[in-house]
């Protein structure tokens, strides 16, 4: 078989494949979640546990924490948020670029938990939209991993408009 000069020989493996745009972008996005840990309380211990060696969220493509919201696309709100802190959380959320997702990690971020008083915000969904709630006080690492995988499934199945008026 003659090969035109300057071209590599065909390997016999896949040279190209076809897919849909949304599936392709979703597949890329679900494995490149850059979390921003907004860590305020004792759930931080469980967050450290789930993100470090033993459980290792890096296996799911969701580990490299970015300590600026501008470079991240997954906001993990870990722990109690007080009314005094709520403006900060809102600002952090607003600084994140699209596309972005939010996980409420632990029962305090989900609903305020057992704090029902003058100080605590009863769930971060009162001020920002939340994609995934992980209950527990604190949640087991397995629950967090399960939650991340559920979020990844959602991202994979989602529509991903590449160009619209917002993005």
Give the residues lining the site for another protein (CB under 8 A): 83-84, 86-87, 90, 116-119, 121-122, 125-129
Tokens of 5: 């000069």
Q: Which of 132, 134, 32 is nearest to 79 (CA)?
A: 134
d(C-alpha 129, C-alpha 81), whole Å: 15
Least distance from C-beta 26 to another protein, angstroms?
Answer: 22
Q: Identify which of residues 129 and 157 has a Cβ nearer to another protein in the complex.
A: 129
Q: How far is the CB of 113 from another protein (least distance, A)?
A: 15
State which residue, 81 or 144, has the beta carbon closest to another protein.
81
Is residue 75 within 8 Å of 91, Cβ to Cβ? no
The least CB distance from residue 131 to another protein, in Å, is 12
CB of 121 to another protein, least distance (A): 7
Give CA separation, 94 vs 36, 60, 122, 127, 147, in Å: 13, 26, 20, 11, 23
Q: How many CA atoms lie within 13 A of 162 on its CB side?
A: 8
Which C-beta is closer to another protein: that of 36 or that of 93?
93
Q: Which is nearer to another protein, 47 or 101 (CB)?
A: 101
């Amino acid at each position: 078989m003659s090969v035109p000069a300057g071209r590599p020989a065909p390997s016999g493996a896949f040279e190209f494949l076809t897919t849909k745009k949304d599936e392709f972008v979703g597949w890329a996005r679900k494995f490149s979640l850059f979390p921003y840990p907004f860590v305020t309380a004792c759930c931080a211990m469980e967050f450290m546990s789930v993100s470090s060696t033993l459980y290792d969220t890096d296996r799911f493509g969701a580990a490299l924490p970015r300590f600026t919201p501008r470079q991240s696309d997954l906001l993990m709100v870990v722990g109690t948020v007080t009314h005094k802190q709520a403006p900060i959380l809102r600002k952090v959320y607003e600084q994140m670029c699209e596309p972005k997702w939010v996980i409420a990690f632990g029962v305090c971020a989900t609903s305020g938990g057992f704090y029902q008083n003058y100080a605590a915000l009863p769930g971060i969904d009162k001020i920002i939209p939340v994609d995934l709630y992980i209950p527990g006080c604190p949640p087991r690492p397995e629950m967090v991993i399960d939650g991340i995988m559920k979020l990844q499934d959602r991202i994979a199945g989602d529509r991903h408009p590449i160009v619209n008026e917002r993005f």
